[in-house]
């Protein structure tokens, strides 16, 4: 028997407190990129460069960004120090 899973909307998606927490988390991630500290996800880099997540992966593929570090089968991250000092321009 096949299981049917229906994805429901997140009831907290429009909650102001949830939005503020997400924005604060993103601001911390962007500050880490600007300071060259730690590692970032494709989602953080997309926000930093005002691009889509698929664009971040494309830029890494063609050499506009460094390649990510594979931490596990389902997790890749970019070094913020590398992003900050990457010699190629994003354009």
pTM equals 0.76
Domain-embedded: residue 34: no
Domain-embedded: residue 16: no
**CA atoms of 22 and 28, how far apart (whole Å):** 10
Domain-embedded: residue 83: yes
Domain-embedded: residue 25: no
Give the bridge partners for 40, in sequence order: 78
What pLDDT, in 10s, does the model give residues 13-62?
678 898 899 899 999 999 999 999 999 999 999 999 999 999 999 999 99
pLDDT attached to residue 86: 84
**What distance separates the 2 farthest-apart alpha carbons in the chain?**
54
pLDDT attached to residue 41: 96
Provide the residue range defining the domain that includes 83: 40-91
Query: Structurally, how many domains does the chain consist of?
Result: 1
Cβ within 8 Å of residue 26, ≥6 positions away: 44, 47
């Amino acid at each position: 028997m096949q299981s049917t899973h229906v994805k429901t909307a997140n009831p907290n998606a429009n909650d102001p407190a949830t939005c503020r927490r997400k924005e604060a988390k993103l601001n911390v991630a962007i500050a880490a990129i600007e300071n060259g500290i730690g590692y970032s996800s494709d989602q953080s880099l997309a926000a930093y460069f005002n691009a889509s997540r698929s664009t971040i992966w494309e830029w890494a593929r063609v050499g506009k960004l460094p390649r990510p570090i594979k931490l596990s089968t389902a997790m890749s991250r970019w070094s913020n120090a590398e992003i900050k000092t990457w010699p190629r321009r994003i354009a």
